[in-house]
Structure 1
Amino acid sequence: MFPLDGNGGYKVSRYLLDFDWQAPKTPFEAATTIKATATQALSRFDLDFAGNTLHTVTVNAKAATAVRDGDELVITPAKPLAQGQAFTVKVTYTADPTQIRHRDDAIEDYGWIPTPDGTVLYPQPNGAKMIFPSNDHPSRRAPITFHITTPPGLTAVANGKLTDRAEQADGRVRWTYDSEQPLATQLAQLAIGKFTLVDSTGPHGLPIRDVVPDDLVAPTEQYRKLTADHIAWLEERLGPYPFNRYGVLVGDTDLGVALETNTLSLIPKADLLGDQVSAERNLVHELTHQWTGDSVGIKTWSDLWLSEGHARFYERLYSEAHGGVVFEDTMKTAYANHDQWRHDYGAPAEPTEPNLFKRMRYDGSALVLYALREKVGQETFGKIERAWVTKYRGKTASTQDYIDLASKVAGEDLDGFLHPWLYGAKTPPMPNHPDWVVNPVQS
């Protein structure tokens, strides 16, 4: 899936982004510096890089040959790189913040998402390459340092911690953020606009920083202030929150879907201006991803069910206890539709690229976790979940990793149970619910 995304031969240890922002939908000068180590001898290597106007490429401060091939930037350094050699790549370019691509699934538009006075990012699934040259694959994670220079009156925010704010002689402001932990490029966030930063404290003194367009501070406060309670609820089930800080970035856009960007979830304004049940479902969904999807990353896109399925599972579970639909009823409905979803969108762990973010990866994958809970019991399931986010904290993991860990914790081989749920053409019987029926497939 996305066979041209991600590149071998090297491992990135850090990205440094330097953006000289001008105005919405206006090209600006940018530079990306990549610190990496060659994992094999390299006479050339690729970066994922789409659009934008390329200016220069250097490797270890020496001019390199660079050729664009579709969304690939093929770089030939002046001197070949030896296996194990550390090297630094610098790419300068004019960035185009109008770049948007479209998918016919839950994602819809992704890339640079304009706002009235700036931008937010929606890089998922493979849109980071429209923003900066990178190794754009969910398993290729590295920390990011952001340097963003803005005109007076605008605020820049990004993943992680603000480490510096410096006013320039011309009145422009240079903001520096450190992501603090490695992250997948699809979960990078950078937003610019007229923002109010709303600080509060979560469980155990956790810093919470919401980033809110000035005119949306009061209208969104009712639901944003619930974040600390949401974190506490999830910590009871998944253990300690895995990062140093969290916050909600309110998107002043018509974006149809939220995104779990590391430590700063992007939530469209419409999600925070409606009814409380819907608002909390979306907030808890993106927050859950900080454990499953962000801290515990996926190795391949076929493992996406682990990320989205967990987020939907806990979102539905929370909602039941807070005015929403009964959890078991949502699972029974998903069960009835499961064969149809398998037919239309592929089994939970066998998506195709066009169907990656369809219903099967959400309620359809939450149903797999529900089936596992019914199989092993709630207590053992809880132990599996906490072991999962603990063992793989800060790492990537696969579907087989989850099956193996679940089997170890449960004290029984669960491969034979989970494999048909994840890969089979037909939906297996639901444990403890012999009366549940799967609807016939409609062609």
Structure 2
Amino acid sequence: MPLDGNGGYTVARYTLTFDWRAPRTPFPATTAIRATATQVLSRFDLDFAGNTLHTVTVDGTPAKAVREGDELVVTPAQPIPRGRAFTVRVAYTADPTQRRHRDDAIQDYGWVPTPDGILLSPQPDGAKMVFPADDHPSVRAPFTFRITTPPGLTAVANGRLVEHVRQPDGRVRWTYDSEHPVAAQLVQLAIGKLAFEDSRGPGGLPVRDVVPEGLVGDTEAYRALTPEHLAWLEQRLGPYPFRRYGVLVGDTDLPVALETQSLSVVPSADLLGDRIDAERNLVHELAHHWTGDSVAIRRWSDLWLSEGHARFYELLYADTRGGPGLEDMMRAAYAQHDQWRHDDGAPAQPTEPALFRQMRYDGSALVLYALREKVGEDTFDRIERSWVTTYRGRAAGTQDFVRLASDVAGEDLTPFLTPWLYGAHTPPMPGHPDWQVDPVEED
């Protein structure tokens, strides 16, 4: 699993200050992290990869900083007492060409260039290529973004646009407040020739899409479905858990969409083709805002809870809109489940190289489908709503889900869910004794 994340402190706020110049061009950047020591700190680590480090200060005093792989080891001039709030400020030259590669659905991640700017694809551990952080999926903090751009370009980030101010030299500073704590892997920041397209969702929820100027008309039909998608998911999972939402259309070769918090990034190609495919992608990323963004995963082995739920609701929605039938899709996944267990690990026991492969998507949706078949649709729906309500704004893991499901169902579901989540072989599907698992093909 990705090994990022650090101990000894909790982050209260990140402030990112970027002085953007031009595509693929390094630029001055500063990250200020307000934190509180949870133990005496004679030194502490930040996840930080690449870029050119200039200075590090702690509460305004220069600190020693050493790079150790993807860690920035900071030694303050004086140890920080337990319980003391402090601010570490890192000045560096950011390199927006940095990307890394995974051999799974994520493929290339980190900074993602566009024709006239940039966007981010930080999942799972790419945020450290953008800013120093405590980059663990369970760790969240509010963000302030201060991004200065040349005239004619727009900057956007998670949350609310606080102000944009033209500087004396004609450049423009854009300031955003995330409004809610955000995990580093869900941070979004984009710069380019972008248009804001505003609408309203259920209950007047502000919806702001951010679209390359040349793609506004071509993507409008599918983007306009967001209020319908919000209403459909709210019927099943309760109120949308953030203050605003929108779709960032990526004019790029980004291989996958991503649920960056309050502003999902969706490749333009996903919005220019088949309606069913487009809606599946849009509903998938939106569903993550309940399961993955609001209810964060406790550790990477819990990823099935995030991706499995998003895939389940994506498929359930498609079933109601003329897409593939949910039962047919689940039967096909059932046939492949032993193969996926062999290749990718059981749903809650992924191998690192296979973290974002098929088992975490269709394979994990199948676990939820099996649970629904076991307890019935009404009880399953109560489990789901209780899950996103109980852990709203918190991190939760696999055992939390098993306990909650058992409590809601009024029976211990551990014996049922354990082999589904951890077993080497796929259990029988409740209510479908005729479903068969295909034999495993060895490499």
Shorter-chain TM range is over 0.9
**TM alignment of 1:249-268, pairs within 5 A:** 249-268=248-267
Residue 337 of structure 2 aligns to a residue in which SS?
A: helix
Counterpart of 2:54? 55
Unaligned runs of 5+ in 2: none
Counterparts of 2:350 and 2:379, CA distance in 1: 28
Counterpart of 1:193? 192
The residue identity in structure 2 corresponding to 1:254 is D
Shift of residue 255, structure 1, vs aligned partner: 1.0
Residue 288 of structure 2 aligns to a residue in which SS?
A: helix
Counterpart of 1:290? 289
The residue identity in structure 2 corresponding to 1:69 is E
Counterparts of 1:2 and 1:152, CA distance in 2: 38
Counterparts of 1:144 and 1:352, CA distance in 2: 31
Alpha-carbon deviations, 1:167-197, whole Å to 9, x = none?
1000000000000101110000000000110
Give the CA RMSD over aligned residues. 0.4
Residue 289 of structure 2 aligns to a residue in which SS?
A: helix
Counterparts of 1:419 and 1:302, CA distance in 2: 14
Counterpart of 2:328? 329
The residue identity in structure 2 corresponding to 1:169 is P
Alpha-carbon deviations, 1:2-48, whole Å to 9, x = none?
23x10000000100000000000000000000000001111000000
Shift of residue 323, structure 1, vs aligned partner: 1.4
Counterpart of 2:148? 149
Residue 157 of structure 1 aligns to a residue in which SS?
A: strand
Whether the 8 Å CA contact 2:2–2:124 is kept in 1: the answer is: no
The residue identity in structure 2 corresponding to 1:176 is T
Counterpart of 1:168? 167
Residue 350 of structure 1 aligns to a residue in which SS?
A: coil
Counterparts of 1:386 and 1:320, CA distance in 2: 20
**TM alignment of 1:100-249, pairs within 5 A:** 100-249=99-248
Counterparts of 1:430 and 1:39, CA distance in 2: 46
Equivalent residues, number? 442
Alpha-carbon deviations, 1:330-384, whole Å to 9, x = none?
0000000000000000000000110000000000000000000000000000000
The residue identity in structure 2 corresponding to 1:189 is Q
Counterpart of 1:418? 417
Counterparts of 1:438 and 1:394, CA distance in 2: 38
Counterpart of 1:24? 23
Counterpart of 1:377? 376
The residue identity in structure 1 corresponding to 2:269 is A
Shift of residue 261, structure 1, vs aligned partner: 0.2
Residue 39 of structure 1 pairs with residue 1 of structure 2: no
Unaligned runs of 5+ in 1: none
Counterparts of 1:14 and 1:205, CA distance in 2: 29
Residue 241 of structure 2 aligns to a residue in which SS?
A: coil
Residue 290 of structure 1 aligns to a residue in which SS?
A: coil
The residue identity in structure 2 corresponding to 1:60 is D
Residue 291 of structure 1 aligns to a residue in which SS?
A: coil
Counterpart of 1:404? 403
The residue identity in structure 1 corresponding to 2:213 is D
Counterparts of 2:321 and 2:250, CA distance in 1: 25
Whether the 8 Å CA contact 2:53–2:91 is kept in 1: the answer is: yes
Residue 221 of structure 1 aligns to a residue in which SS?
A: helix
The residue identity in structure 2 corresponding to 1:113 is V
- When normalised by structure 2's length, the TM-score is 0.99
The residue identity in structure 1 corresponding to 2:367 is V
Counterparts of 1:19 and 1:85, CA distance in 2: 28
- When normalised by structure 1's length, the TM-score is 0.99
Residue 82 of structure 1 aligns to a residue in which SS?
A: coil
**TM alignment of 1:333-352, pairs within 5 A:** 333-352=332-351
Whether the 8 Å CA contact 2:41–2:81 is kept in 1: the answer is: yes
Counterparts of 1:195 and 1:104, CA distance in 2: 31
Structure 1 runs of 4+ off > 4 angstroms?
none
Counterparts of 1:131 and 1:82, CA distance in 2: 29
Shift of residue 112, structure 1, vs aligned partner: 0.3
Counterparts of 2:61 and 2:255, CA distance in 1: 44
Alpha-carbon deviations, 1:240-290, whole Å to 9, x = none?
000000000000001110000000000000000001000000000000001
Counterpart of 1:83? 82
The residue identity in structure 2 corresponding to 1:197 is F
The residue identity in structure 1 corresponding to 2:173 is R
Residue 2 of structure 1 pairs with residue 2 of structure 2: yes
Counterparts of 2:59 and 2:195, CA distance in 1: 40
Alpha-carbon deviations, 1:381-421, whole Å to 9, x = none?
00000000001101100000000000000000001110100
The residue identity in structure 2 corresponding to 1:170 is D
Residue 314 of structure 1 aligns to a residue in which SS?
A: helix
Shift of residue 164, structure 1, vs aligned partner: 1.1
Counterparts of 2:11 and 2:433, CA distance in 1: 50
Shift of residue 312, structure 1, vs aligned partner: 0.2
Counterpart of 1:395? 394
